[in-house]
Structure 1
Amino acid sequence: MKQLLLSTFISNIELPNPKNFEEISEKIKKQKINVLENKIPKKEVDSVRPEIVQSWLRSKKCGLSYQIYNYPPVLDKKQFKQLLNEKDFFIKTTEKAITELEGILFNAGILLTDEKGVILKLSSELETHNNLTMLAPGSIWNEETIGTCAHGMCILFKRPIQLYGPEHYCGIFDSFSCSAAPIFNSEGNLEGTITISSPYIYNQSSHTLGLVTMLASIIQKEFQVSRKEELLNIALSQVNDAILVINKLGIISEINQNAEEMFKSIDTNLVGTSIYEILNDKLLINTVLETGKPIVNKNIEIRKLNKSFSCSIQLVKNNDNKFGYVVNLRPADYQEKKRQKTCGLSATYTFDRIIGDSKKLTQTKKMAKKFAHFNLNILLLGETGTGKELFAQAIHNEGRPDGPYVAINCAAIPSNLIESELFGYEAGSFTGAERGGKPGKIELANGGTLFLDEIGDMPLNLQAVLLRVLEDGKVMRLGGSEYIPVDFRLIAATNKNLLELAKNEQFREDLYYRIAAFQIKIPSLIHREADIFQLIDNFINFYSTTHAMKRPTLSKEAKYALLNYNWPGNVRQLKNTIFYAMCMSIDMETDPVILPEHLPEDILDYVNIPLIANDMLENELLPLSNDIELQDDKLTVKNIEENLIKKVLSDTNRVEDAAKVLGISKSTLYRKLKTYGLKEKRYDF
């Protein structure tokens, strides 16, 4: 670079003819004084460029004197040290170029500033003027602090500029000549300026401006490239992959720290080594170079390490020029671990976590647990909110606990996106597709379980493709040309009658028989009365812990209402109801008690809670945890009703009075007495 700068500077050693300089300088001084003292309008100043006149006037507005030197403010040591730390990379990038240029300059020096005009560095030639001008590192030189100057105007206009003598605002610089150029970072923002300054007015020409502009351009390119390299190195050090940069001859030119760690057991220095010696798969690498198509997550074995890795190879090119490629290596089990966390819920539920001991639920869990140990597709049937997702997770953890679990709701994804979600796509398959393509849910479920909820809402055209995948065990991405082998268990769920849909040609009959050979009917909550209190107790425990709420007690009237409700939303509705009731029962002064009025209106509208006498309800508010004995006895609505009738009859001794207390007619009470066999007992009617 020194030779380039020297050859450019040769033309600068021929100084301009000074015979007219004094005359021109005097004219500039006179016009500057006249315009600043409002003796002439600015349009009459013809000795300098208009932007210089504007700068003079702005300098005056800042309260600066053109006759007396305006000493610039100086950053304190702490502030300047902090600035040097921030600009350290920028300063170091300029050092080499500045040092080389200093060696060929005569009666001139170099000044480096930041984007605000703070002097970062200056050459020894300029340091001799420190006492006079405070031209020192840390001083703030710009239009607002010292008036019109070359690098100050360079900062304002963001372009190279040259000033001679009295073009500067302050008269102390009447003998100076300065040429300044901006330096930009990779984002296009001003990083700083560089100035060639001389205390001799005749020591610069247009060639000096060209020189400093070229110097700024060289520094700018080096700074931007170095900054990108630094950011790239930082980025590469943060990723978990081992990254190898390969040139088109197959030689490793760069590696990151993870690659060093991965291959530290190999004595060979990776940089400069042929990639073919490492990967042992020349065909794989040449395929990328020849076709330009990337390799994504290809399982390979590196013999020197005696380990398997997931390998991705991306070609690096500019138009048709191929420069080489980048190789990413990660442990072979990385993709499997990633799949388990991708796009669906992690399978956290087991059969032990499905709450309830009722006969129907126990039979259902027993059947599902048996099916889980066979490699077969399963169809879960049940109303909304019964817990089909919980059963799917439990079946997965029972049968394929080490594989990925991927869930997708067919009703929640738009029909135009579900195909790419299920089957994936290759790069460039459609507008907005991710670079490098994306595996679909079926591919991600390889080795594990794919749970398709609301399968009855899957579009008919995709049902045919899914059927083919189930029959062949292979899937092809959108825009792809090769089939990918897949091994997964399908668990489908629906609250619809798929056979009825098939008869109406809304669901493929062949797919129905493919997935419905093994069906599990999840019982509704109305058929699990014995589980209701156990579920309520669990939900209260859950919300008390997760929301730091006081544990409430449950009144008997509220229990009666909860047991008599039909629960169309099943367990999900019960869970939401308990949370609602807990929130409504909060009392800052006393312990919370869930009463009927704390329940949602749809439950109160459905259930006719008997009007029980107040004296019967005294001291009968029990914490839910005290109901364990009742739960063990499988307490049902009928049990509560029978016990209530017995108690009221015992207290009143008359059917007529008991009917009034219970809020029912005498005929209804007689019918219930017959139902519960109470007519055989003697009451004083």
Structure 2
Amino acid sequence: MGKTNRLPKIQNTQVNFFADNEIRSSDILVSYERWQALLQCKQAFLQDESEDPRRHPYMNQEVAASWIRSRNLGVNPYAVVTSPHMKPDELSKLLDQHRQLIDITNSLAKSFQDLLFSCGYLLYLFDKTGVVLLNEGDWQKFPPLFADQSSRMGIVADEHTEGTTAHELCIRLKRPVQLLGPEHYCIAFQNSIASAAPIKDENGSVQAALVLLSQPLQNPPDEETLKNLSMHSFALTTSMAVAIETGIKLSKTADELCSANKQVAALDNHLRSTTDKLIVVHHTLNATMAFVEEGIVAIDRTGKIIFTNRDGMRILKLRHEDVGKRNICEFLNHDSPLLSLAEKGEIVRVEEHISVGNDRQLPFQIVIRPIINHETNELNVAVLKFISAEKAAAKASVKTNGMAVHTFADIITESPELKKTLALAKRFAASAENIMLTGESGTGKELFAQAIHNVHRPQGPFMAVNCAAMPRELIGSELFGYEGGSFTGAERSGKAGKIELAHGGTLFLDEIGDMPLELQAVLLRTLEDKQVMRVGGNRYKKVDFRIIVATNKDLYKMVKESQFREDLYFRLSVLTINIPPLRERSGDIELLVKHFIERYCERHNWKVPQISPAAQKKISEYPWPGNVRQLQNAIIHAVNTAQGDLIKPENLPNYILVDSCPVKPDELSDTSKKIGEILCLEKLEKAAIEAALLHANNCPRTAAEVLGISRSTLYRKLKDFKIDY
């Protein structure tokens, strides 16, 4: 390997450019500074096999992983593929198979021919295996290596042959990808920008990739040219890919083909009359949003509606001329937090009631996706997706593992204790270390686990396993999977385990203290080697996942008692978060009671009842050993048993009333106490008066009737016993 010139050392700026785990174009991502930093990283990587590009602050993790795979595959970065891998008859058969795709792409390419070739672009169409189906452009502008080539059709350019490329990552990630020059593994392309967009079939599977490759830029590249070229080529590639997908769909039948020809002709005339590529993006967005079944509404920072698809117009009963004139706040309650949540810049889901005209309010779940200006850190646009309450409930009823739906925004608290825990969890979430969640049952450990996952690896799977909820003999096959025929009842084709399915995401092990000792050793080995072998298998498979465990037991005590492996304990508890019980969260009980009542009544379209002071007192004084989960169940019981618009103490579950009684049945059988202390007449009389007041909601007249005494007698005893009401 030849030596390369060392670039000047640049400042190592620790900026998280890839917080959303996407490869895309932006002003920051295509800066001259990043280009030079990537070039330095590339040179170090090629010269030193121990260099890990994933640690470089400017590197995208998917690109870095591809570099490593390319090197492990033995790809020569100084060579490119120039000869077809396929025989003529094989290539002819493949081209016939993709004829419709090639023809539509070729037709669209001719519409853009003047624009593409005047800018020096090369246009590629790859099938999903990396075979070049179509290429257009002037190879004379590229290095001498390509000067004598007129076509690369039939060449297989995948990660095994050319290493990291935009189309390879695009097909792998199923989304648009843009690579700056130094991000290419192949040195021949390290001065060019490549933009790739997937072309999907009607089932959403990637069948091809469209690529625009710029001519080599001057080295070093001009900052303004770099930014403009990356933005325009990325937008143009994405728009063309969407147009190709639309063309394929419209050509399925004769009627659709006729309609497609008219639309392509209309689009062709329109594209020829303008040089502004952003207009193309805008029209393509409109066409794409028409296929989305939910209502999509885009608003600016003031709430003004700047875009909506067809379903969004139907939900809000808008006309085309209303767009740009109406405000989303017109349809929301006056205290709606929607705009304030959007300004925070986090993707959240809220429940709102939409009011349109004189119609009754209709419940919707609204997913808020803010777009933040990277220079001002202020909200530019927020995209809202409206999901009807019925549809959301139907989706929720299908219990799907592999998806984390909760974020930190879903954790409701005013407690300083829990806020401190939340701050710690958010800080730990940004790390890649293992996390242990401790706390009593019902405190929300899985809620914390999902929230941490949605910060660290939101695009990956979230696989949850409750180690206490399944038979001991099944935990191994559930975690590690099994090969076909490994045991009686096993599926013939075998089954992947939760660890294997968590690749690229998070494995959540609840009740880790109940994991059998013999499996703890296997789990420890998997965590150390990042490899997993199925039950009955004979080969290891590499896995990349983050593990979060939860327990309500004292694991350290179990380690001392040889009930839990010490080495596994220290491996899992790198970062530990203790979630406080509900009784220690000052101020949260009343807040949660109000939230649970309103949420439950909204779901059933019931009038929201009030809670009496006496009932609230009982709830606040109860220790809640089952924590938030127990409180939610108690509120559901109270709402369903309440008569009228008021929840009274008698509407609470019996265990709360029994535990709050001054003289409990078990005290009567307690031989350690004197019967005189227990059955003290004064104590029992005071307890009876307090119980009657509680039943009567602090109304003395009703309480006197319940006790069978006069009101004057009751008032006297209230004074004697110093009872406030």
TM-score (norm 1): 0.43
Larger Rg: 1
TM-score (norm 2): 0.41
